[in-house]
Structure 1
Amino acid sequence: MNDSNYIKIYTGDLIIVQRIVSELEKLNIIPVLKDQTDSGLLAIFGTSNSILKQVYVHKDELDKSTPIIESITSQLKD
């Protein structure tokens, strides 16, 4: 997604990403998800223990998205 109008706002495991997506959609923000799993390694080693996803939002929605990411990630630190 280089040179696009989308900005990466989070990288993490699927469960957290699903929560972020749910909260963003409540604000009518439709994020774009990118899977970071290297499928070539899955064929060799079996299943992946941690499937990382990246969450992107349109740059015009960054200001509305940032508080959601900060809220969710701060709860994870507690």
Structure 2
Amino acid sequence: MTSNYKKIYTGESLVAQQIVTQLRGMGIEAIIKDEAESARLAGFASSMLGQVDLFVNKDEVEKATTVVEAVLKES
């Protein structure tokens, strides 16, 4: 199965939220995949608390990557 999305960030949830906010300001929609939250909602435990993956459409990876780099420099 092929996906139109590419992972641009893996790390802390708070940083991912900052990235998402800036991406939305540019008109780029991002998807946050939070395995720990999914596990919690299903009644399981997870050792990856606070770690998320951030995905954007493949066509927007270049612009999104510059935002990720800028946010990481600020942090």
Does 2:45 align with 1:41? Answer: yes
Q: Aligned AA for 1:65? A: A
Kept in 1, the 8 Å contact 2:35–2:48? The answer is no
**RMSD between aligned residues:** 2.0
TM-score relative to the length of structure 1: 0.77
Q: Give the Cα–Cα distance (whole angstroms) in 2 for the partners of residues 35 and 54 of structure 1.
A: 7
Question: 2-side partners of 1:55 and 1:18: how far apart?
Answer: 9
Distance in 1, matches of 2:31 and 2:15, equals: 15
Aligned structure 1 segments of 4 or more residues deviating by more than 2 angstroms: none
Larger Rg: 1
Q: Which runs of 5+ in 2 are unaligned?
A: none
- Residue 54 of structure 2 is matched in structure 1 by 55
Residue pair 1:36, 1:51 contacting (<8 A) in 2 also = no
C-alpha displacement of 1:49: 8.2
- 2:45 alignment partner AA: L
1:19 paired residue number = 18
Structure 1 gaps, min length 5: 43-47
Residue identity over aligned pairs, in percent, reads 33
Partner of 1:45: none
How does the TM-score come out when normalised to structure 2?
0.79
CA shift, 1:73, in A, is 1.3
